[in-house]
Each structure stands twice: as C-alpha cells, then as structure tokens.
C-alpha cells in the first residue's frame, strides 16, 4: 500500500497503537522514520525500535513505553505535509518542560529534537511535536 506521506502514516500508527495499548507495532522502514524514532528513543518517549529485513523489504518494530499503565505518549501532532512544508527559525522553536514534550525538526545537520536544534542555533522543517 502506498502512502502520500509515510511520516504522517507512522505517527498515526503510533497514535492508534497507544490508544489500543499495544506493546509493539510494525512499520515499513525508511531512513527518515528511523531518524525520528531515534530522537523519540533518546528523549524517552518509546522504549526502542529494531529494524528487521524480511526478503527484499525492511520493517521497523517499535516498542511503546508505558508508565504506571499510562502511555508516555499522550499526543502526536504532524505539522509538515507534502503540500505545505512548515519551516521555522531557531528563535521560533518552542521550548517544553523537560520530559513533557518535544518538537522534532529536520535540519541541515539531520533530524533532531527542538531542544538540540535550539542549542545549536539551527532552524529547519518542523516535522511533528510529541507530548
């Protein structure tokens, strides 16, 4: 099945899996998805992920994180879309209280959290926010 914007599809699958209280979900692999999942892992929103090759295709297995039976991810919002990319400068990056939310950006130095982009004074495409 082809999707117009695979990143939005990934975020929707994560959102639905959290609502259904699933522990592990399977996603089609891409490098940008892997980079976004690395940021989410380093910021503590998911337990981790694993890339598995089956035949010619690769898949990503994502282990969702729960704390006291409540999901760590409460909300995911996708901002950039294929028809409307949203770019922000480093001075417009919203800061969140540590542990409560992050913005994920695609910068000239790769995909990173909003806090790291702010420290490095880098702007870029605002992919999504995770709470």
pLDDT of residue 2: 58
Average pLDDT, rounded, for the chain:
95
- For residue 1, the model assigns a pLDDT of 53
The whole-number average pLDDT for the span 108-122 is: 97
CA distance 130 to 57: 28
pLDDT recorded at residue 99: 73
99 close to 44: Cβ distance less than 8 angstroms = yes
Residue 43's pLDDT band (cuts 50, 70, 90): very high
CATH level 3 topology of 6-130: Ribosomal Protein S8; Chain: A, domain 1 (3.30.1370)
**CA-based angle 80:86:88, to the nearest 5?**
135
Tokens (6 digits) for 26: 């399977």
C-alpha 71/C-alpha 127 separation (Å) is: 21
């Amino acid at each position: 099945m082809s999707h117009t914007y695979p990143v939005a599809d990934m975020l929707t699958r994560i959102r639905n899996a959290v609502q259904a209280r699933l522990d592990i979900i399977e996603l089609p692999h891409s490098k940008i998805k892997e980079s976004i999942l690395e940021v989410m892992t380093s910021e503590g929103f998911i337990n981790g992920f694993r890339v598995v090759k089956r035949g010619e295709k690769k898949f990503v297995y994502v282990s969702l994180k729960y704390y006291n039976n409540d999901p760590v991810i409460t909300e995911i919002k996708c901002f950039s879309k294929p028809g409307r990319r949203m770019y922000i400068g480093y001075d417009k990056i919203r800061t969140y209280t540590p542990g409560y939310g992050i913005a994920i950006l695609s910068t000239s130095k790769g995909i990173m959290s909003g806090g790291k982009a702010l420290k490095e004074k880098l702007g870029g495409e605002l992919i999504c926010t995770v709470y």
